[in-house]
Amino acid sequence: MWFISIKFIILLITAVVVYFYTSLHLFKAVYKASDIIIDELFHIPQGIAYCERNFSRWDPKITTLPGLYLASSILSVFSLDCNTYNLRFINLIASCMNLVIFAFLLKFIYGHTGSQIKIVLQALSLAILPPLYFFSFVYYTDTLSLLMLLIFSIMSIVYKSYWLVFLNGGLCVLFRQTNVVWIAMMLGHRVIDLFIRSSRVYGNQYLNKSAIRRSIIANNIDSSKLKRYYNLNDIVIAIKYHVSTCFVNVFKFLTISDFVLMFQQALVLLGFVVFVYVNGSIVVGDKSAHQATLHLPQMLYFLLFYGVFGLPYVLAKFSSTLKLIMRHKLKVVFFAVLFAAIVHFNTLVHPYILADNRHYTFYVWNRWFGKYDYAKYATIPAYIFLLFSLYDNLKDQNCVAFLLPYTIALFLTLSLQKLLDVRYFLVPYIIVRLRFAKSSYKVACFEFLWYLSMNVAVFYVFFNKEIKWVDFDQPQRIIW
């Protein structure tokens, strides 16, 4: 059991107050600089319609379910004007709530041994993760969608709610359809863990039936260090054992709490399957621009995202990662061949990334990948190093029960998207970032200062670089 100290609460409240008032000044500056920022052209009129209780209006260009707009209808409950300022302000409040939940999740992960100042500092760093932080000032779905997913994690992992998991899981999907993949990942994590732990207890010839019946060993045998060393072979052994026993012992090991949570998560997945069947697609609205397309390089682009925003952790494990690479030379060759085949045969370019010069991805693509024929191959060494670096940051804190469902979820989230958009990488990065081993003060401070400096640079470009578009009266600006 874990507890929250008064010191932690005071530190967290102080961080939230400083974060809010600092961000509020920036929020007002963003509002004055631009009334409409790219996709807000569709989002804001839709949000105003729902805020005014006009639920029959729907813009066919919108591809997500109406969670964001339903949340916006709360403005009218408090007699607030349905305007751009107030609609954007909802996300600023949501970002403050994300900061609080980040702190509680990190407190739960690190337990009593973690420094409370460092925990709050890391929560603050996650809140100002540059792409996430920017979208806290505009009327997009990202901030509230993440909030729903974080609440779902709290209810599933920390508090283990007996009935709110299903409700909140539905809200996660209502804000963004791809959140269902991360709900499936949590369910998969729990199922694999249950399979392996139960096979290790009931399939262990050195444990007698009396010990198993007392359930002391059954509940605690793999509760700490053993758990983090599961590998693929453990899954194979567990499946063989449970097949031979007709899966009876899985249910003996299953607690009522776990069953209720897993049942609610499974109901969310079932409901989503029904939605896709009825809708004919995961996308609502403009389906032609977001058709599912196999695009494996997205997994490699995610590694670059990790390399940029996880730089403090990359550098902290730099020498360790090099040693890991040297010990697995055959795997390096395998990945080099695999990545070369992926980028050669499956590099796709969405028309938006070639035409929309209001995103950083436009400049990265057109000044590197799209400009030089050799660029996609020259980046392969970076992919390989970052893959080993990511594994190096995860291997001592996690096992296959997390890594396997996470990898599958990452594939489903990224590799079926043709469009390259940094927003797609936010949730998967935040998930692995929360799974990293406890960092030093040096790394935690570096992360905070790294994000702070990037935000300064990004907002400097936003306020000072204007782009003329024929379709807009106001000058356009560069965003993530």
> pLDDT, tens digit, for every residue of 316-354?
999 999 999 999 999 999 999 999 999 999 999 998 888
CB-CB contact of 75 with 86 (8 Å): yes
* Within a domain: 13: no
The pLDDT of residue 226: 40
Residue 206 has pLDDT above 70, yes or no: no
Tell me: the pLDDT tens digits for 150-193?
A: 999 998 887 777 788 999 999 999 999 999 999 999 999 999 98
Q: Which residues pair with 479 in a beta bridge?
A: 359
Residue 150 Cα distances to 216, 372, 398, 402, 406, angstroms:
32, 40, 19, 17, 16
- One domain for residues 304 and 351: yes
Report the sign of the C-alpha dihedral through residues 393, 395, 400, 404, in that order.
positive
- Among 109-118, 206-215, 258-267, whose mean pLDDT is lowest? 206-215
Sheet strands (E) in 242-333: none
pLDDT of residue 219 exceeding 70, the answer is: no
Span 250-268, average pLDDT = 87
Q: Are residues 269 and 317 in the same domain?
A: no
Cβ partners under 8 Å of residue 57, min gap 6:
46, 49, 50
Residue 215 main-chain phi, psi, to 5 deg: 65, 5
328 and 427 together in one domain: yes
Q: From residue 121, how far is each of 130, 317, 353 by CA, in Å? A: 15, 20, 35
Sign of CA dihedral 203, 204, 205, 208: negative
The model's pTM is: 0.91
Q: Are residues 268 and 371 in the same domain?
A: no
Q: How far apart are the first and last CA of the chain?
A: 40
Q: Are residues 304 and 345 in the same domain?
A: yes
Is residue 221 helix, strand or coil?
A: coil
In a domain? residue 390: yes
Q: Is residue 22 part of a domain?
A: no
Q: Are residues 301 and 409 in the same domain?
A: yes
The DSSP secondary-structure symbol of 155 reads I
Tokens representing residue 126 in the block: 């996650």
- Beta-carbon contacts of 433 under 8 Å, excluding residues fewer than 6 positions away, are 126, 310
Which two three-digit tokens encode residue 173? 């999907």
> Residue 57, CB half-sphere, CA atoms under 13 Å: how many?
15
The answer to whether 88 and 27 are in contact (CB under 8 A) is: yes
- Where does the pLDDT of residue 287 fall: very low under 50, low under 70, confident under 90, or very high at 90 and above? low
Q: What is the pLDDT of residues 74-109, one digit of tens each?
A: 988 888 899 999 999 999 999 999 999 999 999 988
251 and 323 housed in the same domain: no
Residue type at 10? I
Identify the pLDDT of residue 279. 87
Q: What's the total number of domains in the chain?
A: 2
Clarify whether residues 303 and 373 are in a common domain. yes
Query: How high is the pLDDT of residue 288?
Result: 64
How many whole angstroms from its chain centre is CA 451? 17
HSE, side-chain direction, 13 A CA sphere, residue 286: 9
Nearest-angstrom CA–CA distance, 417 and 465: 29
Are 333 and 427 found together in one domain?
yes
Which pLDDT score is estimated for 325?
97
Let me know whether 389 and 310 are in one domain: yes
Dihedral class, residue 476 (left if φ above 0, else alpha if ψ from -120 to 50, else beta): beta
Q: Which residues contact 374 (CB under 8 A, 6 or more apart)?
A: none
Token representation of residue 342: 């992926």
Which domain-ending residue is among 233, 250, 281? 281
Residue 59 included in any domain: no
More confident residue, 4 or 143: 143
Domain boundaries, position 364: 292-439
Cβ-contact 343, 380 below 8 angstroms: yes
Distances (CA, A) of 167 to 34, 57, 70, 93, 189: 36, 25, 15, 22, 20
For the chain, helix (H) and strand (E) counts, in that order, are: 26, 0
